[in-house]
Amino acid sequence: MYAIVKVGGQQFSVSENDVIETDKIVGNVGDQVELDHVLLLSTGDEVKVGSPAVDGAKIQATVMDHFKSKTVTVFKKKRRKGYKVKNGHRQQLTRLKIDSISM
């Protein structure tokens, strides 16, 4: 059984016991989170496609960790003007473990 779920503007294909990394979600480490925006649900022989989401489908996940991604360098320059700016950005992420997929 697997599902395609939309979390934080991104779509993930998940099954039970998978670990995904998504944009930061509100919740403490160890909390249960319910993901209810399920776009597709497959149960071996049957596939349900939502428009836009499958009614009644829910995914239970556990917050494993909050962390920051690797540094992305942002460099701006205007030629012949002497203008240079170098910055970095680290996105805040959440690691989720998928516990169960249910209808």
Q: Is residue 53 part of a domain?
A: yes
**How far is Cα of residue 4 from the mean position of the Cα atoms in its chain?**
11
| pLDDT tens readout for residues 40-93 | 999 888 999 988 999 999 999 999 999 999 999 999 999 999 999 999 999 999
In a domain, 87, yes or no: no
Domain-embedded: residue 23: yes
Range of the domain at 31: 2-66+93-102
Total domains present in the chain: 1
pTM listed for this prediction: 0.84
- Residues 17 and 97: their CA atoms lie apart, in Å, by 6
Give the other-Cβ count within 10 Å of 67's Cβ. 13
26 near 62, Cβ under 8 Å?
Answer: no
Per the CB < 8 A criterion, the answer to whether 93 and 68 are in contact is yes
Q: Are 27 and 60 in contact (CB under 8 A)?
A: no
